[in-house]
Amino acid sequence: IKTAVFISGTGSNLKNLIKFSKIKNSPISIDLIISNTSKAKGLSFANQFSIKKYVSSFKNHKTAETKILNLLKKENIKFICLAGFMRILSRSFIKKFRGKIINIHPSLLPKYKGLDTHIKAIQNKDKLAGCTVHLVTTKLDSGKIILQKVVKISKKDTSTSLAKKVLKQEHKLYPAAIKKIFN
Positions marked catalytic? 105
Enter the DSSP assignment of 175: H
Measured torsion, CA atoms of residues 37, 42, 54, 35, in degrees rounded to the nearest 10: -40
| E strand map for 68-180 | 79-82, 101-105, 128-135, 145-152
Q: Contacts from 120-123 at CB under 8 Å and sequence distance 24+?
A: 121/153, 121/162, 122/153, 122/157, 122/158, 122/159, 122/162
